[in-house]
């Protein structure tokens, strides 16, 4: 509590010295100096790409975007950022509500204050949020597991133990990924572990994967559900000279390099740049037009293997290439956000109920 209060006080002080944020959000117009706060759930290489997308949206749209986040993925710290953004009078707030339900009260506070909201990456389906940007998490697990099964079959492996790790067990989107993986590999005859808690701290994450490899010498695959998992799985595999297949999520450079070297067989990308850009754009369009935008802006899942990894490296390592790629992509797939949005309630369907994620 002390840390949270200190965070709020320091952020309010910082926001006070910023240029005036303008009149309340519901009264903003195209002529106003629109200011959007984007509250991440933590800072690492993955969320840096979200930040880049959000800031590029601000530049393209001629508005101010302030991105807040700290390493560690501590929920109270980031709730402090959100509370401070409410008090500072931002015209709109984007939030990644890590863990879901702990955010419900704060989200209600922002709604009561008349502040337009958008979210991405993590869902809070019991809150008043009604605009979300992200992939079909369950289907991403299906797609990842299908590639894992394909690569194992190519190596002559059709059964065996698969160790699954989650950096935040109980997180709704990570649980959905796990359920998608189970839906493919369970009926195929593989024995999947319960989701092992691999932690959000990078050093802890590596040590846990190392311990899991030591304890599961009969495993045929190690699958992580978070962005920090694949690089650590790759290091464990290389140092231990293990023969199991490594797999996981997201496309940071260390993961792409691990795919190129063969230490990781497949990783699923979830378009973090779009998770940064699109919610900012949606709020700005809503504020300027006065017409509410709601729904699920579904972004595609990229399945990256040794066969196609080279085509992804320029986009993931060069900011200019990334920006142009997504500018072209949005012209084709998100020209009209209202027309592009799926019903928000699709996120509440039982696992597997949502339609497949479109290919990029």
Strand residue runs (E) in the chain: 35-39, 64-68, 92-95, 117-120, 131-134, 160-166, 190-192, 196-197, 219-224, 245-249, 266-269, 295-298, 302-304
Q: What is the dihedral of CA 169, 172, 178, 182, to 10 degrees?
A: 120
Q: Which two tokens stand for residue 72?
A: 């560690």
Q: Would the CA dihedral through 358, 175, 310, 49 be positive or negative?
A: positive
pLDDT at 350: 77
**137-269: same fold as 2-135+271-299+321-347?**
yes
pTM: predicted TM-score of the whole model, two decimal places: 0.89
Q: Which of 260, 209, 266, 256 is nearest to 235 (CA)?
A: 209
C-alpha to C-alpha distances, 194 to 122, 124, 170, nearest whole angstrom: 21, 24, 12
The domain covering 137-269 belongs, at the CATH homologous superfamily level, to: Response regulator (3.40.50.2300)
d(CA 70, CA 105): 22
d(CA 175, CA 100): 12
Question: Between β-strands 302-304 and 266-269, what pairing exists: parallel, antiparallel or unpaired?
Answer: antiparallel
Q: How many CB atoms lie within 10 A of CB 89?
A: 17
pLDDT tens, residue order, the chain (360 aa): 334 434 443 443 444 333 322 223 334 444 469 999 999 999 999 999 999 999 999 999 999 999 999 998 999 999 999 999 999 999 999 999 999 999 999 999 999 999 999 999 999 999 999 999 999 999 999 999 999 999 999 999 999 999 999 999 999 999 999 999 999 999 999 999 999 999 999 999 999 999 999 999 999 999 999 999 999 999 999 999 999 999 999 999 999 999 999 999 999 999 999 999 999 999 999 999 999 999 999 999 999 999 999 999 999 999 999 999 999 999 999 999 999 999 999 999 877 654 434 333
Domain at 2-135+271-299+321-347: CATH code: 3.40.50.2300
3-state secondary structure of 87: helix
d(CA 178, CA 193): 11
Segment holding 9, helix H or strand E: helix 2-16
pLDDT at 356: 38
Q: How many CB atoms lie within 10 A of CB 24?
A: 13
d(CA 122, CA 320): 27
Q: Using an 8 Å Cβ cutoff, are 44 and 254 in contact?
A: no
Q: Which sequence spans correspond to the domains of the chain?
A: 2-135+271-299+321-347, 137-269
258: Cα within 13 Å, side-chain hemisphere: 29
pLDDT at 351: 72
- Give the length of the chain: 360
Quick one: how many helices (H) and strands (E) in the chain?
13, 13
d(CA 318, CA 34): 29
Q: Which two tokens stand for residue 318?
A: 């060069």
């Amino acid at each position: 509590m002390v840390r949270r209060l200190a965070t709020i006080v320091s952020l309010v002080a910082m926001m006070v010295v910023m240029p005036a944020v303008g009149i309340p959000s519901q009264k903003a117009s195209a002529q106003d100096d629109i200011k959007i706060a984007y509250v991440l759930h933590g800072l690492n290489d993955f969320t840096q790409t979200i930040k880049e997308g959000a800031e590029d949206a601000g530049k393209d749209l001629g508005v101010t975007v302030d991105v807040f986040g700290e390493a560690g993925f501590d929920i109270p710290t980031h709730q402090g950022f959100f509370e401070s953004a409410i008090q500072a009078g931002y015209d709109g707030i984007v939030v990644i509500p890590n863990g879901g339900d702990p955010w419900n009260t704060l989200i209600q506070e922002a709604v009561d204050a008349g502040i337009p909201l958008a979210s991405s990456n993590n869902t809070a389906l019991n809150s008043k949020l009604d605009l979300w940007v992200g992939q079909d998490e369950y289907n991403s697990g299906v797609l990842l597991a299908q590639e894992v099964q394909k690569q194992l079959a190519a190596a002559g492996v059709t059964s065996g133990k698969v160790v699954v790790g989650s950096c935040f067990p109980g997180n709704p989107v990570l649980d959905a990924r796990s359920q998608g993986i189970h839906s493919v590999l369970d009926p195929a005859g593989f024995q999947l572990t319960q989701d092992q808690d691999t932690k959000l701290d990078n050093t802890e994450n590596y040590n846990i994967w190392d311990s899991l490899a030591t304890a599961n010498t009969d495993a045929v695959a190690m699958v992580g559900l978070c962005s920090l998992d694949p690089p650590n799985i790759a290091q464990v595999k290389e140092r231990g000279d293990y023969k199991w297949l490594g797999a996981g999520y997201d496309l940071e450079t260390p993961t792409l390099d691990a795919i190129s070297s063969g230490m990781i067989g497949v990783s699923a990308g979830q378009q973090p740049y779009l998770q940064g850009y699109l919610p900012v754009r949606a709020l700005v369009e809503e504020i300027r037009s006065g017409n509410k935008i709601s729904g699920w802006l579904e972004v595609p899942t990229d399945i990256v293997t040794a066969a196609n990894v080279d085509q992804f490296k320029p986009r993931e390592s060069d900011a200019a290439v990334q920006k142009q790629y997504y500018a072209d992509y949005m012209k084709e797939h998100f020209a009209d956000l209202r027309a592009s949005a799926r019903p928000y309630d699709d996120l509440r369907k039982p696992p597997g109920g949502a339609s497949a994620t479109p290919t990029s």
